[in-house]
Copies of this chain bind each other. A is one copy, B any other.
Amino acid sequence: MKKIHIVGLGLLGGSFALALKKIRPEIKFTGYDINPQNQIDALTLGIIDEAKPEADQDTDIIILATPADTLPLLLEDVLDKIGAETLVMDFGSTKANLCAKIAEHPKRAHYLAGHPIAGTEYSGPKAAKADLLDRKVFIVCEMEKTDLHLKSKAYEVLEALNMKLRFMDPEEHDSQLAFVSHLSHISSFMLGKTVLDKMEDDKNIFDMAGSGFASTVRLAKSSPAMWAPIIKENKKNILEALSMYIANLSKFRDKILADDYDGIFHEMEKINKIRDILDLE
């Protein structure tokens, strides 16, 4: 492994490079970001050694870490020009649309569809952290469609980063992520909006907010440039999850309207079993 090129020098692309550079100082990192300031910051922070718009032909791995809706066209363009021994891997939060669009590309076997389950509410190269990916899950979709030899380059670096590989199909991935990630972001944004709307009357309302509020609203700090595209790419599954959530909230409201506090108690008690599931992790 000699050379890695990263397109999109933000939180994930940057954290990947910082982590790998610590344990594999011999690898040369090149990279590109559409935002010139991000490119300058990535050079300053040592995320990349050289900024260039396209990967050299002898690059081992190209990482695409740009917003979800930019990936189909970008991936097609990268595959068109890809070196004979180069693997391209993406870090996108949605997989079904991307895998479908690239299915018939003559260089399909050069591509590995990936998704690291890691992130924070911050973005950009300055938010990158060398330990962000450590021991996190990395989902691989359609592994059987990637060339065995090229794929091994990806597994080599992902294992070096202590990432836990999981394999699933793109539709299953997008459906599950809608529930355990995308819905959380929408619920948090709308919670933030509801309180901000209320704040227009009560200026001091945030003074009363405790750690519980901070925890549930944290994701409302997330980047719209990342999240609006995810919603676009995973529309169908997100609508399903969001509709189930709204229906559950409405049924809960009906219980309050009916003064059914026993029902509320028992419902909360059942949901408490999420303790056991989350504490296992």
Contacts and interface: CB of A to CB of B under 8 A. Distances in A.
B278 A198 contact: no
B216 A187 contact: yes
A197 interface: yes
B252 A186 contact: yes
B269 A221 contact: no
A179 B205 contact: yes
A157 B166 CA distance: 53
B249 A253 contact: no
Contacts of A144: none
A9 to B, nearest CB: 21
B180 A209 contact: yes
Contact of A216 (B198, B215, B224, B231): B215
One complex includes copies of this chain to the number of 2
B218 A272 contact: no
Interface SS of chain A? helix
Q: Chain A contact residues (Cβ within 8 angstroms of B): what range?
A: 35 or more
Interface stretch (A56-64, A76-84, A96-104, A188-196): A188-196
B209 A181 contact: yes
A44 interface: no
B271 A257 contact: no
A111 to B, nearest CB: 21
A220 to B, nearest CB: 5
Given A176-B202, A221-B274, A224-B272, A245 B210 contact: no
Contact of A196 (B119, B211, B273): B273
Contacts of A210: 117-119, 136-137, 180-181
A187 B187 contact: yes
Given A183-B194, A256-B238, A264-B231, A139 B208 contact: yes
Interface in A245-281: 245-246, 248-250, 252-253, 256-257, 259, 261-262, 264-275, 277-278, 281
A175 B196 contact: no
Contacts of A154: none
28 contacts: A118-B210, A119-B211, A121-B212, A137-B207, A176-B205, A179-B195, A184-B215, A184-B217, A187-B249, A189-B267, A189-B268, A192-B274, A196-B271, A215-B216, A215-B218, A215-B219, A217-B274, A218-B278, A220-B274, A221-B274, A221-B275, A224-B265, A231-B256, A231-B261, A239-B253, A242-B249, A242-B253, A246-B249
